Every structure is written in structure tokens, then in C-alpha cells.
Structure 1
Amino acid sequence: MFIQWLKTFQCYYFILPIDLYVIVQELDRLDKKILSILYSARLLSIDPKEALKDSIYDEGLLETRLDHLYKQNLITRDLRITDKGKDCLQIVFAGGVFDIIHPGHIHTLRSAKSLGDILVVVIARDSTAIKSKGKKPMHNEHLRCELVGSLKFVDAAILGREGDIFKSVEYVRPNIIALGYDQVHEESLIAEECKKRGLNIQVIRLDSPIPDLKSTRIKELLGKSIYNF
């Protein structure tokens, strides 16, 4: 009850003892973590209850916070995040082929994650990769998706939609689209197309400390010897 009272009067945090301030802030972070897990579970079509249990081990605390989020109309009783709950999150969208993961990818995706609460990475379908790169990827779309999804700072890796790439954007409905330093897409054109579709999205171009490191170059040097490519 006391903690709930403190959360209601957030404008008075500055007069709280430091230990109580930390507790309240931690609860806020936990609520956001729960919302992030539920949002990612929806994208990945996995059981939200199992996803929560895998990440939050204190069942009593979890039930308390779920009840609080439900009363705030941020989630439903069957653990689906509501539109209001989604609005509490800053969702970042990144996309690419990711055929050979290298330090440039790691830096870009980590930077993208730092822009928000959730990083959703959309993996190009094999057909899309062939169309854009002119050749078939070394690894198929499912392997590439599994690999990117295993990175700890990626909350959800999903396969893109074939044909219209903006269908993936409409599905995720992010707040930010993060472009890699070497991706050919024009920020202004992406923002304009999103606006046409009723999406208010910020487009950000990320830098890289190692811009010369690219998958194409790695394939040229090692492809034939390792992958018979």
C-alpha cells in the first residue's frame, strides 16, 4: 500500500529517502520489463506465461505486478499487452539480411537497442535477399533469424514480409526505425512512406566505428574456402 502511494505521487520522489527511491524505481523498471516480455511474446507467438517465468523467478512479485498492470489497463487477464501498455514502451525496429554476423552488426544492433526499450530485428526473407543482393544468402532465412535472435540485446527477431517491406513495419508499429550505416534506404523516403500509412515513426541513421567491415568483404575473403560459396 505504501509503495503504491509513493508510485501515485511520483512528483515527490526527490524528498524520499534514497533506499525507498531505489525501490520505487526498481518496480517501475520491472513493470516495463514485464510489458517488454509480453510484447515480444506476441511477436514471436510464444506462451507469455512461460516467457515471464523464464525471466522473472519471484512468482509472488510477478503476480503482484501483473495485477497492478491489469488494473492500469496495460495488460489483459490472459497476459496480452494492450494498446495503452504498448504506448508505455519505446520500440526500435531494425532490419537486414544478417548472413554473416560480424562486429559491425553487433555495434549497430547494440546502438539500436540503446534507443529504446525493445529491439525488434526483422530478417530479410531469402527471396528478398536475392532480389537486393543479387545472390542467395549462405544461410537460409530461418538460420539467420535464429542467430540474430540469440543475441542478448535483441528482444525479438522475426522474418520479414515478402514483397512490401513496409508490411513488417506496420506489423511491429515501432517508434523508431534504426538504419545501419551502410544500408541504402533513404531516411526521408522511409519517413514519408510511414506517414502515408498513418505511422508516426522517427528514422535514425546509426554510425559505425568500423565502416569498412562488411559481410560482402568477408564473403570475398573466406566464402569459397569455408562455405564453398
Structure 2
Amino acid sequence: MLKSSKRVILSSIYVSQIDGTNPIERIKEKTAWSDDQINSEIDDLIKNQFVNEDKKSLTESGRSSLKVVLAGGVFDIIHPGHIYTLNAAKELGDVLVVVVATDNTTVKMKKRQPLHSQEQRQELVNSLSMVDLCLIGQEDDIFKTVNNVRPQIIALGYDQVHQEKAITEGCKKINLDAKVARLQSPIPDSSSSKIQKEYGESIHGI
């Protein structure tokens, strides 16, 4: 079983492979390690065939040793339901990748313009401690992002309309064996749309 320090490195390299960032800098953000300590840990992972010689990519063994969870949503206003759901999603694996819906998709789903742009929502979700990486989704095919991330688990929020069967079948088409987990929220009435509506009503009532 891998030590937690090794999982930090593998997770950081995995995320860096997707977003093109420097894995060393990402590891430094998560730890207080020196460059020598980081390189020593990576060299050990290379020796055990979890990391490739380039120090920037995982071997097949390294990737399969990580349990990646994928979650998605609009995340226009972050509320307690989101925090609970994302924490629950992170507990299912080692790495949590979150996909925010594009502005156009949000309009189709919510029948309104989002308060924040897709880039703002991405930045907001990326700032949450339990999230390892936040991506902006694909409008034409959600499975393009799924194929890029290759998660072992796809976590659905309590209020998401996606059907587990449709997602499972879509994963099979890209040769991905992923489990679908439906997460429950302790605050089922909490939603961005409701918060926005109540806020608007309170303003008009002043």
C-alpha cells in the first residue's frame, strides 16, 4: 500500500498531465517539502515503476494505483450542499476532478444566465480545498471530458438529472469501466437557483 506522501506526488503528477502545469510546483503547494525531498520521493516512485523517467507522467501502474473521482455541476453560487457533496465525492477516492458546465449549457439547464462566467466558476471551484482540479466542460459531448480524466468513479449530486444507466453506457463506448455513485445532500432544499430567487425577493422587500 502506498504511503500518503507517495499519493500526494502521484495525484499531483496526474493533475499536471491534464492541465499542463508543473507537478513540482503543485507538490510544493500541497507540502512543505524541499526540492531534494520531492526529487528523492519521485526517484523512488520511478524505481518502483509508478512514475516515468521524465518525472512528469505516470506509468500504467502509477495511474491505476490512483482512484480518481469525477463530479460535475454548474456551481454558480457555492452553498453548503455543494460543500457536503464535494467532500463526500473526495472521500470516494484519492483525486477529485470537478467539471463546471459552460455558460451555454447552464442557460439550457437553468433557463437563465449564470451570475458568474464559466471561468469565474472554474476559479471558484478550484479554490476549494477538497478539489484537486476543476475543468470547464465540453458542450457537444460530456464524454470527451470523461475520456480525458478517465475516472474510476463518477459522482452525481442528489439533484442532478443525469441517469446512472446512460452514464454507464456512455463510459462503455469509450472503454471505461467507471462506477456511478449518487451522493445525497443533507440540505436537499439548498440550490443556487433557490438562493438567487430568495435573495432577489429579499432585496425587493426592502
The alignment's TM-score, normalised by the length of structure 1, stands at 0.83
1:63 aligns with 2:48: no
> What is the CA RMSD across the aligned residues, in angstroms?
1.7
Aligned to 1:133: 110
Aligned to 2:59: 82
What is the CA-CA distance between 1:192 and the residue it aligns to? 1.5
What is the CA-CA distance between 1:205 and the residue it aligns to? 0.3
Q: For residues 193-208 of structure 1, what are the structure 2 equivalents within 5 Å?
A: 193-208=170-185
1:33 aligns with 2:5: no
Identical pairs, percent: 47
Aligned partners of 2:24 and 2:38 also within 8 Å = no
Q: Distance in 2 between matches of 1:141 and 1:59?
A: 35
Larger radius of gyration: 1
Aligned partners of 1:149 and 1:157 also within 8 Å = yes
Aligned to 1:184: 161
Structure 1, unaligned runs of 5 or more: 1-24
Q: For residues 11-160 of structure 1, what are the structure 2 equivalents within 5 Å?
A: 28-56=3-31, 57-78=33-54, 79-160=56-137
What is the CA-CA distance between 1:128 and the residue it aligns to? 1.3
Deviations 1:22-48 (A, max 9, x none): xxx7x7111111000111122222111
Counterpart residue type for residue 150 of structure 1:
S
Structure with the bigger RCO (C-alpha within 8 Å, sep 6+) is 2
Counterpart residue type for residue 27 of structure 2:
L
Q: Return the structure number with greater helix share.
A: 1
Counterpart residue type for residue 74 of structure 1:
F
Deviations 1:34-84 (A, max 9, x none): 000111122222111222233332333322211111122221232222232
Counterpart residue type for residue 12 of structure 2:
I
Aligned partners of 2:68 and 2:152 also within 8 Å = yes
Aligned to 1:167: 144
Q: Distance in 2 between matches of 1:144 and 1:71?
A: 40
Name the count of aligned residue pairs: 201
Residues 139 and 225 from structure 1, CA distance in 2 versus in 1: closer, same or farther, beyond 3 angstroms? farther
Counterpart residue type for residue 87 of structure 1:
S
Q: Distance in 1 between matches of 2:36 and 2:69?
A: 31
Q: Distance in 2 between matches of 1:35 and 1:104?
A: 29
Aligned partners of 1:191 and 1:203 also within 8 Å = yes
Structure 2, unaligned runs of 5 or more: none
Counterpart residue type for residue 126 of structure 1:
D
Aligned partners of 1:37 and 1:51 also within 8 Å = yes
Deviations 1:107-126 (A, max 9, x none): 00000000000000011111
Q: Distance in 2 between matches of 1:44 and 1:36?
A: 13
What is the CA-CA distance between 1:204 and the residue it aligns to? 0.6
Deviates more, 1:107-116 or 1:74-83: 74-83
Aligned partners of 2:101 and 2:136 also within 8 Å = yes
Q: Distance in 2 between matches of 1:102 and 1:211?
A: 11
Aligned partners of 1:126 and 1:141 also within 8 Å = yes
The alignment's TM-score, normalised by the length of structure 2, stands at 0.92
